[in-house]
Structure 1
Amino acid sequence: MRDKDTLKQEILEAFHFRHATKQFDPDKKIPEDDFQFIMETGRLSPSSFGFEPWRFLVIQSEEMREKIKNAAWGAYGKLPEASHFVVILSRTKLDTEYNSAYLQDHFKNGKNMPEENFKKYMQRIEEFQKEDFKLLDGDRPLLDWAGKQTYIALANMMTAAAQIGVDSCPIEGFNMDKMNKLLADEGLLEDGHFGISVMVAFGYRVNEPAEKSRRPFDDIVKFI
């Protein structure tokens, strides 16, 4: 087993390796087992209260890739060159409100939570949504909150990819209404149960990036 210092160095090297890749090599494809590994790190990612309020759409259809390329300006330069392209959806208020059918099934059947624990847990979630974060005023607050959870999975997938030498680029360059309409027209949002959060391209870089630059550690990290 590798010692801790070696492992830490390898992880930091992956963070230095990772950058928002602007141009992918269209002739290089990610091996299927490597891509499955990347997606598994997304699936295993943590989420607030364990909601797992996401879905990952792996866009393999050339026709769908073309539609996304033409609808999302941030994706135009990544498709079709990227080896793999993922649209990350977040669940809407229909699924994330404390009394939703999705949460009932998710905790009772998905996580096999005992009835007594379930009732207490749902009461805590209700209090959190109503009082702590005030998420029930309109449809947008819960959707934005779920979107925050998807970014945890996004970061984990990009870091895992970097650790095995795969490049990535997160993409927010799109009109949300237009992309939601496109996905809804394709039947991918399940009648309003999902909305687009973010997209990400995976593949292999053509050009080496500039040296990574970040603000000084002492400016970012404060010990109180």
Structure 2
Amino acid sequence: MDKKYIKEQVLSAYRFRHACKEFDGTKKISDDDFNYILEVGKLSPSSFGFIPWKFLILQNSEIRQKISPVSWGAKLKLPDASHFIVILSRKTPDLIYNSKYISHIMEDVQKLPQNVIDERKKGYENFQKNDFKLLESDRAMFDWGCKQTYIALGNMMTAAALIGIDSCPIEGFNRDNVEEILSEESLLDRTKFGVSCMVAFGYRKKEPRPKTRPALQDLIQWIE
């Protein structure tokens, strides 16, 4: 493994990556490349490994048009992005320590022995009740789930950049209105899921301005 080469590849990808404002509608991401991006999202870490996200891949032009008026940050992306994802986060009914979903993950996905499941549930309950106080409100639980979806979001954008694919993360939308539209289209069960964020993938229409960031020393503090 050539560590120096790998580091330069990763840094090069981050220099290439930007919040793409407009996509070239004539260029499409191949199935193989997009499946690779999705696989990276699937493999991303989550708290306790409980995977609170779901990816809605909106390729239907009519549904894209419906959410456009209430998604000001996506207006220039929805018509021409090769692929457009609405990232959902699970809500309290699925994420609470004693839910069927949590049991399903531990029993059927992680395939843990029962004694380990019992201990993990106790630890997870204490975490939710006392450490992070997530049971104080449904919004606290939802926001906790949303934070984790951003891990998958970042990893997918990095994976895309490594193979020359552009992306744009999007928070510019009215959550209630988007959720209402998706619910009407039978794409969202609002009792279990809410919209966390959106992300568009494709190929840039024009080159962006140079990337700007503060100096590294302005962002870090060493404690020794």
Instruction: Note whether the superposition's TM-score is higher than 0.5.
Output: yes
Q: What is the deviation of 1:213?
A: 1.2
Deviations 1:119-165 (A, max 9, x none): 10010000000000000012100100000000000000000000000
Structure 2: tracts of 5 or more residues without a match: none
Q: What is the deviation of 1:181?
A: 1.0
Match of 1:115 in 2: 114
Match of 1:128 in 2: 127
Match of 2:192 in 1: 193
Match of 1:202 in 2: 201
Runs of 4+ in structure 1 over 6 Å off:
none
Identity score, percent? 53
How far apart, in 2, do the equivalents of 1:189 and 1:102 lie? 17
Match of 2:77 in 1: 78
Match of 1:172 in 2: 171
Deviations 1:54-113 (A, max 9, x none): 000111111111112222111111111111000000000010011111101111111111
Q: Report the secondary structure of 2:135's partner residue.
A: coil
1:101 maps to a residue whose letter is K
Q: What is the deviation of 1:184?
A: 1.4
Structure 1: tracts of 5 or more residues without a match: none
Q: TM-score, normalised by structure 2?
A: 0.97
Q: Report the secondary structure of 2:13's partner residue.
A: helix
CA RMSD of aligned residues (A): 0.9
How far apart, in 2, do the equivalents of 1:100 and 1:179 lie? 26
Asked whether the equivalents of residues 179 and 190 of structure 2 are also in contact (C-alpha less than 8 Å), the reply is: no
Q: Report the secondary structure of 2:77's partner residue.
A: coil
1:147 maps to a residue whose letter is C
Q: TM-score, normalised by structure 1?
A: 0.97
How far apart, in 1, do the equivalents of 2:89 and 2:163 lie? 27
How far apart, in 1, do the equivalents of 2:57 and 2:71 lie? 16
2:157 maps to a residue whose letter is M
How far apart, in 2, do the equivalents of 1:215 and 1:172 lie? 23
